[in-house]
Structure 1
C-alpha cells in the first residue's frame, strides 16, 4: 500500500465547503447575501468541522450572470461589501483554522470591463487583441459555434463591423489568452490577491482557456458522476463504475475535487437520492458517507449538510437563472408544453442550488429581513440549521461525524481503494487501506431494502446512518455504514 509523503499538500486532507454568497446570509436587509453576513456565520462552518472555504465571485460586476461577468477584478461589488470586508473575512477564517479560496473567472470578463470597452471602441485600439474578433462570413456569424446561454457564440459589434466570441452570455466576452499582455495582466491580478492573503483559487471554465499542454493543476473537479446522472438518471451500476474507475485510476498519480452538487447543479438528495419525506434524511446521509469516504478533496455545497432538496417553483418567472430561461425558451421552441418545459427546470435548474440558506423557520428562513432576491425553498420550515443543530440525528450531525472520522483515519484520505461488490445492483461496498489500518464502507444506493455478502470477521462499526444491526447483512433503503477491520 502506498504511503503519503511525510509532508503532503494541505488541500489533500482538507474538507471544503462552498458558499454562494448571494444566497448565504444577508446582513443589511436588501435581500442579497453579503460578506458581513458570511462572516457572521463562520462559527457555524467551524462547528461543522470544515477547514477550507470556497466562495463564488464577489468581484465588481453588472450581475448579468450572478457575478461571473466581472467588470473589475480588484474591486468588490457593493452588493456584497468592500475590500475591507474581504480582509476581515480572510482574518476571521484564518483565526478559525479555515483557509479561503475564491472563484477566478478568467476565460471571460464583463462587457462593461474597461478592457472590453476600449477594445470595441476601434479596430486599432491597443486592447482590441485582448479579445477574439472575426469578420462576418457571408454577412453572418463566422461559424456555427453555440454559446451556453445563446444560440450563437458570436455577437456582432455594429460599431466596428466584427463579431466577438463569447462562450457564455453575450455580456461575457472571451479573453484572448494567446495575447501575452492578457496573461501578464491576469497574472499580476492573481499575485495581488495572493499577497492580500487569499489561499488559492477555483478556476472557472478552465477547459475553455488557451493554455500550454500538460501543465499541472493541483486538482481538477470530478464532474462525470453528475453529468452521467443528468444524462441517464440515477443508475447505481453506472455511478459505481465511474467512481471506481476514477478512484483506482488516479490513486498515487493525481488528485480530484469531489462533489455531487454545487451552485450550477441540482441538489444531490433530489438528483441522486430520494427527497421524499420517508427517505430524504437517509439518502442525504448516504451520499454524505460516499462523499467523505472516497479519495479526493470533498466539497460540501451550502445546505447539502442539511439535506436540502430541489425546489419546484410554480412559474418560469419565479426562476432568476439566465441558463434556466435560455433552456426553457429552447424547449418551448421545440414544441414542448409549458408543463413539460417547467418540469425540466424543476429537475435541472441552477436555481435549485441557489435558493437562500435556511437558518431557521422564521420569515424568509432567517436569511434576510427584507425580500430575498430568490424565493426561499418551501422545505425551510423543517429543513433548516436551527432544527438540524437541535437534533442529534440530523443530516448535519451525520456530516459532522463523517468529517471527524475522515480526519481520524488517514486511510480515508490517502488509502487505496478496492471495490468489493461485483454487480450493478444498489449495494456499493469498498475498502480503504493505508499502513496498518483498513476500513470497509458499505451502502445501499436505493429506496428498497438490499442484501450484501456477510461481513468479514473482525469488523467493528465506526459509523452508520440508520439504527440497524451492525452485523446485519441486510441494508435498509439508503443505509450506509463504515467499519474498521480489527484484525
Structure 2
C-alpha cells in the first residue's frame, strides 16, 4: 500500500466547527476559547490533529468561508492572542493544529476586491474574474454552487464578476501571478505561527475554463473544476510554501475520481499530501453498499504505491453519518460504532467530525426560517420562485441541509446542552438530553468509549495505516469484509451494515494451507469469542456489528 512512512499518514484528525463547539463569552456563538477549554476532551479521544474551520475576519455570509482579512481573527471567534494560545495549548498536549484556508475566493468586503471593483483600470482589477456580458445577459449560463448564476453585474463598470459560491464570494483570478504570491505570503504567515496543517478549501476550482461559453447542462457544474493550469498552481504552491515546512496538506477536491485524484497526491508530483474526494458524501445520497465497495476498491488501487487518501462520511457540509448512512433510531449506537470502525480501518487518514464520537444525529427543524444554511435557503427561494410547493420543497431539502451537522455540540443535558450560557446561534438538536458527552462518559459501552478504543488500536498498530487492502466480501449487499496486510501480519475486518443478523461464510481461499485462526482485537458488541478458527467456517454477525481480528 504505502512504503514511505510519515507522521501525517499516521494522523487521526478531529474536526472542530468552532462556532458550534463551545461558547465561552455568552454571545451564543462558539469561539476559539471554547476549543481551548475542551482540548483535554479532544486529547482524551487519542486524536493527533485538530482541524479548525475558518476563523479569519469575515462578514460571515457563509460561516467564515467569505474572508475579508486573511491576517485577522473575526470577533466572533476571538483574538489573535486566543489563536496563539490555541496553538500553544494544542502542542502542549502532543497534538497538531490544522487550519482551514479559503484560497479560491474572498469576501466582496475584502480590500482586494474593493480595489478591484473600484475601476476597470485598477491594478487589482485582474485579481478577480471580470467579464463583459453578452447581449444583455451574463457572459455564460454557468451556475454557482449557491445561485442560479455564477455571475453578478457590477453596475458601476457594467461588467460581471464571477462567484462560484455566494454573490458575496467573488472568485480570485489564479492566472494573476501577483495575486498568487500574496496568497503564498499569507499561508507562510500562519505556518510561521505554528500551524501544522492546512485544509485547502475548494481547490478544484482554482483554474478557470479557458473558454467562456454556454454549456449544455449548467446544473452539472463540473465545468467549474479541474481546468487547465490547476496542477501547475498546486505545484507552485508546494514549491513556494509547503516544501519549506514540516506540515500536512489536504485538499478539498470536488469531482475527483480514481483516475484524476492520484495526480494531486502522487508523491513524485509534489502537490498535496492527501485529498478529500466526494464520490461518497456528495454523490452517494444514501447508503449503497455495492457502490461504496466499488469506490473504495478503485481508490485503493489508484493510490497504491503513489499517494495517500482520506476517509470520512460527514463533516460541516454533510449530514451526520449515523443519520445518513446508518440507523439513527433502533440501532443508533451500533451503527455509529460500525461506521467509525469502517472509517478507521479502510486505507487512508480517518477524520472525526465533532459529535460523531457520541453518535450525534441530524435534525429536522420545523420551518425554513429555522435554518441558517445559505445553500439551502437560496435553493428554497429558487425552487419556490419557479412554482414549487413550499412544503414539498422544504421537505425535499431537509435531509441534506448542511445545518444537520452544524447544530451545537451536545456536552450535557443541562441548559443549551452545555454549549454556553446564551441561546445558541443555531437551535440545538432536541435529543441532547439523551445524547451528550456527559452521559457517554458514564457508559462503558457508549460510542465514545468505543471510539477511544478504536483510535488507540490504530495508533498502536501501523497495519491499520500502511497495510495492503483486499476486499473479500464480493457483491454482498450487507456485509463488508476485508483484509489489511503488512509485512506478513494480517488483520480481518468484518462489518454487518444491516438491521438483521447476517452470516459470513469463509471460502477455502481464506483458510490457506493451515486453516484460519483469528484473535479478536476489537468488537463493537464488546468481547464476544476472543478466538475463532476455520473449524467453524461461518461467522454470524449481529445487526450493525463490527469486528476486527488478527490472523494468527
Question: Secondary structure of the equivalent of 2:361?
Answer: coil
1:395 aligns with 2:421: no
* Aligned match of 1:253: 306
Alpha-carbon distance, 1:229 to partner: 2.2
* Aligned match of 1:479: 545
1:112 aligns with 2:109: yes
**Number of equivalenced pairs:** 480
Alpha-carbon distance, 1:346 to partner: 2.6
Q: Work out whether residues 466 and 479 of structure 1, in 8 Å CA contact, stay in contact via their aligned partners in 2.
A: yes
Correspondence for 1:219 among 262, 269, 274: 274
Greater RCO (CA < 8 Å, at least 6 residues apart): 1
1:61-76 matched pairs, under 5 angstroms: 61-76=58-73
Alpha-carbon distance, 1:425 to partner: 1.8
Write the deviation string for residues 43-85 of structure 1: whole angstroms up to 9, x where unpaired. 0000001011111100000000000000000000011101111
Q: Using the alignment, how far apart are the partners of 1:343 and 1:247 within structure 2?
A: 37
Question: Secondary structure of the equivalent of 1:295?
Answer: coil
* Aligned match of 1:239: 292
Question: Secondary structure of the equivalent of 2:283?
Answer: helix
Question: Secondary structure of the equivalent of 1:224?
Answer: coil
Q: Could you state the TM-score of these two structures normalised by the residue count of structure 2?
A: 0.85
Q: Using the alignment, how far apart are the partners of 2:520 and 2:383 within structure 1?
A: 49
* Aligned match of 1:268: 321
* Aligned match of 1:294: 346
Q: Work out whether residues 97 and 195 of structure 2, in 8 Å CA contact, stay in contact via their aligned partners in 1.
A: yes
Q: Using the alignment, how far apart are the partners of 2:143 and 2:482 within structure 1?
A: 42
1:330-479 matched pairs, under 5 angstroms: 330-333=382-385, 335-454=387-506, 456=511, 457-467=516-526, 469-470=528-529, 471=532, 473-479=539-545
Alpha-carbon distance, 1:151 to partner: 0.9
Worse overlay, 471-480 or 388-397:
471-480
Worse overlay, 314-323 or 332-341:
332-341
1:90 aligns with 2:87: yes
1:14-29 matched pairs, under 5 angstroms: 14-29=11-26
Write the deviation string for residues 260-298 of structure 1: whole angstroms up to 9, x where unpaired. 10000001001111111x200000000000000011111
Q: Using the alignment, how far apart are the partners of 2:16 and 2:90 within structure 1?
A: 13
1:175 aligns with 2:194: no
Query: CA distance change for structure 1 residues 359 and 132 in 2, over 3 Å: closer, same or farther?
Result: same
Q: Using the alignment, how far apart are the partners of 1:337 and 1:346 within structure 2?
A: 14
Question: Secondary structure of the equivalent of 2:105?
Answer: coil
Alpha-carbon distance, 1:250 to partner: 1.3
Alpha-carbon distance, 1:37 to partner: 0.7
Write the deviation string for residues 414-459 of structure 1: whole angstroms up to 9, x where unpaired. 0000111122320000000101321000011112221111485210
Q: Using the alignment, how far apart are the partners of 2:498 and 2:277 within structure 1?
A: 22
Query: CA distance change for structure 1 residues 54 and 185 in 2, over 3 Å: closer, same or farther?
Result: same
Question: Secondary structure of the equivalent of 1:438?
Answer: strand
Alpha-carbon distance, 1:338 to partner: 3.0
Question: Secondary structure of the equivalent of 1:447?
Answer: coil
Question: Secondary structure of the equivalent of 1:163?
Answer: strand
1:38 aligns with 2:93: no
Q: Work out whether residues 285 and 398 of structure 1, in 8 Å CA contact, stay in contact via their aligned partners in 2.
A: yes
* Aligned match of 1:187: 184
Q: Work out whether residues 13 and 297 of structure 1, in 8 Å CA contact, stay in contact via their aligned partners in 2.
A: yes
1:323 aligns with 2:375: yes
Worse overlay, 310-319 or 215-224:
215-224
Q: Using the alignment, how far apart are the partners of 1:353 and 1:159 within structure 2?
A: 40
Query: CA distance change for structure 1 residues 448 and 341 in 2, over 3 Å: closer, same or farther?
Result: farther
1:132-211 matched pairs, under 5 angstroms: 132-210=129-207, 211=230
Q: Could you state the TM-score of these two structures normalised by the residue count of structure 1?
A: 0.96
Write the deviation string for residues 119-142 of structure 1: whole angstroms up to 9, x where unpaired. 111111111111110111111100
Q: Work out whether residues 225 and 243 of structure 1, in 8 Å CA contact, stay in contact via their aligned partners in 2.
A: no
The structure 1 segments of at least 4 consecutive aligned residues displaced by more than 6 Å after TM superposition are none
Q: Using the alignment, how far apart are the partners of 2:467 and 2:423 within structure 1?
A: 48
Q: Work out whether residues 104 and 203 of structure 1, in 8 Å CA contact, stay in contact via their aligned partners in 2.
A: yes
* Aligned match of 1:311: 363
Give the CA RMSD over aligned residues.
1.4
Gaps of 5+ in 2: 208-229, 233-262, 264-268, 533-537
Q: Work out whether residues 2 and 304 of structure 2, in 8 Å CA contact, stay in contact via their aligned partners in 1.
A: no
Write the deviation string for residues 388-416 of structure 1: whole angstroms up to 9, x where unpaired. 11111000111111101111111110000
Gaps of 5+ in 1: none
